[in-house]
Amino acid sequence: MARKKKIENVLLDKEKQIVKYLKDKGIYEDVDDFLVSQVIENIKQIHDAILDIKARGNLVPISSNGLIGMNPSITIYNKALKNYQDLCRKLCLSPHDRQVLKIEVDVDDGF
């Protein structure tokens, strides 16, 4: 529970940081709030997918008869990453901007 609260706090801080960065660059509009919130949501989905892939692996049981298939979190990760990149482009955040903002998904797995 503490780790979930920690990631929520980190993401809230990151959301505020992105808005401030956009305002400082003079490219922020109120309508960008939705896009910024979606960037944060996709970062959370990427984070959760990484944790699940680390915990369960790339291949997981997909039926009760022992059939093995690709972990659905891999698809979630790929879609969230694509959405994240598309949203950043819409907000005019270049790879350099994302590096300056340190927008990344750090997974603290407790080790």
Residue 52 lies in a domain: yes
pLDDT score of 4 more than 90: no
Q: Which of 45, 26, 41, 28 is nearest to 90 (CA)?
A: 28
Domain annotation covers residue 110: no
Q: Is residue 6 situated within a structural domain?
A: no
pLDDT single digits (tens) 24-76? 999 999 999 999 999 999 999 999 999 999 999 999 998 889 899 999 999 99
- What is the count of structural domains for the chain? 1
Kindly state whether residue 92 falls inside one of the protein's structural domains.
yes
Cα(3)–Cα(82) distance, integer angstroms: 25
Domain of residue 34, residue span = 13-101
- 66-101 burial, b at 16+ Cβ within 10 Å, e below that, comes to eeeeebebeebbeebbebbeebbeebebeeebbeeb
- Total-model pTM: 0.83
Tell me the per-residue pLDDT of 86-108, one tens digit each, with 9 for 90 and over.
999 999 999 889 888 887 655 55
